[in-house]
Chains A and B, each alone.
Chain A
């Protein structure tokens, strides 16, 4: 067989699947975003970049963009920091460590939509778990209207972060166990304090794990939709709307397929702009450290 064709032949199944389910929809979304298509009955007519121009003046969209920005910042910081701490903690072998691990991993078994439903109950005013807990602890003063206009976006983020933390913990635990014990011992003999060893040996060597955890956090934050749908439906008064939710509403609620597709393209571009350079840089560092 032709030696130059062989690799392509092996890649064929992946290319076909990616083509049908990846490349084609992206291309199609971009094509639709340049039309004024309404619903699915008939293709719309070509309107150039009009949809994108309209987005710049769409207060609903700009509002959701601001909320998504908060999602990105919170998602980068909170779940990853928590996950590293938890991973360091449960990596120690102590009695009950595997039970604790299971508890931390459990949220992963739930989809974001289900997480939204559960946390919706937790945030329920007065009778919800959170309020009951605070009342029980005598901390009534801390109670706010969790899903009210001021707190809703943050409350939704907290619920989503709960699941994201579980994911990142799994990743960081795997990353920690890939660091040879000898390296940490060498650093100990070299005179490192626990803090120095963490920041100068452990953390740099967690790069492969952080690449996955950070890019996953970015993607999940930018695409967040279903948890918003099941928890708040973007409300109250749009206070928890995010771009994914806007895209869904414009497309499947208002049937403005062309307009919704333009939001989809923006989300795709934002994701690519954040994630691609990051993954590239980390892949380079990884190649240096782990071969």
Chain B
């Protein structure tokens, strides 16, 4: 077990800077998710930790030791790859023990460790099979077994669930999380799926275009997004972002609707803002923001209303069962927090709450 320190790390591909000076502190035993859209540099960062990519600038240390110049095998890490990367010509047991064979471990030691890992992962019946004889989920487990057998300081996961079907993904998610809790090994987990990051991680690092947008616990990111990017990226469906300006006692939206809010007093009136409201914060009201309905999608427990407020597309999650059709009009008011962002910098400048009118 070890903590991982990423200090001002840069990655250049020729003239392109893929990672632009990143700092992350990963505590001993922590499960950290690197999350962001395609091309944000999250996989590159993981591969730099693994030693599969050179580090163009800055330092990465594992357990207090700078590993920049070390080969992957000298870093005491294990990696689970997106396509499992199982050796097709080796049986499951050999796949899992390959690293120990290379290190010259004794037959007995190998047998014990493989059997231990197989028991933890319910792979005991499959040890003598070839990878092609396994299902996707089983292959994924073998890939994790290969990592566990090595008893590394850090586990690295590169989108390990993205090749599984939706149902299996949910159960493997829980399995990886419980595995981490049992083993207590530091883990760095790359995903583009914010739900995966939210449900599994102790700490999430949101990245975009080679930079860190925000680092925090899942609920910190959800409740206090640092900027518009994080606000839109975390949470499903995404946060609604509406142009507005500060007015006396609240905000005025583009269509002229005024929303009474507490917590806006500190701002100058007429300042332009972007108001961020989570879909589930909306409730039906007599008066309020006018939503022109496009579709309603009942899921039983709730109804998702997709429509527009003015020209801005919005999504509302309602507990009521609404049967709106295209062209219908609903009035809604936010009951939860309203995040206020600066339209120029994208940074969150405050969070207000609706004043309930009775």
Contact = CB atoms under 8 A, between A and B. Distances in A.
A189 B73 contact: yes
B71 interface: yes
A191 B103 contact: yes
A186 B73 CA distance: 10
Contact of B79 (A186, A201, A285, A289): A186
A183 B89 contact: no
B85 A191 contact: no
Interface string B81-98: 111010111000000001
B205 to A, nearest CB: 22
Interface in B188-225: none
Interface residues of B, number: 24
B72 interface: yes
A187 B98 contact: yes
Interface string A194-223: 001000110011000000000000000000
Contacts of B99: 190-191
A290 B102 CA distance: 24
A192 interface: yes
Given A191-B73, A191-B99, A186 B85 contact: yes
B89 A204 contact: yes
Given A180-B83, A182-B83, A288-B130, A189 B89 contact: no
B88 A189 contact: no
A191 B102 CA distance: 7
Contact of A189 (B52, B87, B132): B52
B50 interface: yes
Given A183-B85, A201-B87, A189 B130 contact: no
A185 interface: yes
Interface in B52-96: 52, 71-73, 77-79, 81-83, 85, 87-89
Interface of A: 180, 182-183, 185-193, 196, 200-201, 204-205, 285, 288-291
16 contacts: A180-B83, A182-B82, A182-B85, A183-B87, A185-B79, A187-B87, A187-B98, A188-B73, A189-B78, A190-B73, A190-B146, A191-B73, A191-B103, A285-B89, A288-B88, A288-B130
